[in-house]
Amino acid sequence: MHAANPLDDPTADPFQVAAAAASVIAETTGVERHDIALTLGSGWGRAADVIGETTHTIAAHEVPGFSKPALEGHVGTLRSIALPNGKRALVIGARTHYYEGHGVRRVVHSVRTAAAAGATTMILTNGAGGIRESWTAGTPVLIRDHINLTADSPLEGATFVDLTDLYSARLRALAHSIEPSLDEGVYVQFRGPHYETPAEVQMAKAIGGDIVGMSTALEAIAARQAGMEVLGMSLITNLAAGIQQTPLSHEEVIEAGRAAEPVISALLARIVAEL
């Protein structure tokens, strides 16, 4: 039996829970302030090993508001990493997905915790389906913008937040200066956990989407609310349903992530080194 998650109490203030989580991280790591936070999705995990030196690893469920990951291929730890440039990174290997059904507060808790821990840059990565036929499994893509099809928001009440430059043009330019061949695309977040139908993929394409996934848009909104600068990157693990002719499978997604991991982790490390 796990202790109840404080975020499951509807009267809890999610920002207070995030502040409590940040305190536990500061106490456990002895690091008062983290500068950069990274959420590492499918295929990106190894980046944690190559961006710098891990000084502390915390089991996510020991931090208020976090829970164990629901899925194989997702790790359940928070890591404090000393970067070669003297900055500190907090790596979140424990993403809560919207499709888990725990509510959007739980989904964005890691982002709010990162902000409370001091981070001003939020790097959000994921494994996702590609709509553009020029992409193949293993292609990393910068997220230029998103379309949120979850019909939900992490913002509560009349909280109006501008999303014009949500995926920072400055950080995308920096990524391009390191890897000029990186494509950019519009990420379309579906609820999942089913993959999209071919018709839904065609709809996503018609409304301007290039990438389909189940995670990042809600997190990016919360990061912007917290005043963070956001860099989003998708690893194309498969072409989206109906674009590729074979059925999609979670195994295929994990395998594509494994195969691409060394290359995209090294790329991310080079970007982080310049932040």
- The residues annotated as belonging to the active site are 196
The stretch among 28-36, 63-71, 171-179, 211-219 that binds ligand HPA (CB under 6 A) is 211-219
Which CB sits closer to ligand HPA, 121 or 238?
Answer: 238
The minimum distance between CB 242 and ligand HPA, in angstroms, equals: 10
Q: Per rule CB under 6 A, is residue 63 in the interface with ligand HPA?
A: no
The minimum distance between CB 139 and ligand HPA, in angstroms, equals: 12
Cα separation of 31 and 80, whole Å? Answer: 8
Q: Per rule CB under 6 A, is residue 214 in the interface with ligand HPA?
A: yes
Residue among 14, 93, 209, 213 that touches ligand HPA (CB under 6 A): 213
Residues 100-139 that bind ligand HPA (CB under 6 A): 127-129
Strand 121-130 with 36-39, pairing = parallel
The minimum distance between CB 129 and ligand HPA, in angstroms, equals: 2
Cα separation of 239 and 21, whole Å? Answer: 37
Cα separation of 141 and 172, whole Å? Answer: 10
Residue at shortest CB range from ligand HPA: 129
Let me know: does 217 contact 189? Beta carbons within 8 Å.
yes
DSSP letter string over 124-187?
A: EEEEEEE-STT--TTEEEEEEEEEE-SS--S--SS-----TT-B-HHHHHHHHHH-TT-EEEEE
Cα separation of 246 and 273, whole Å? Answer: 38
Binding stretches for ligand HPA (CB under 6 A): 127-129, 195-196, 212-214, 237-238, 240, 248, 253
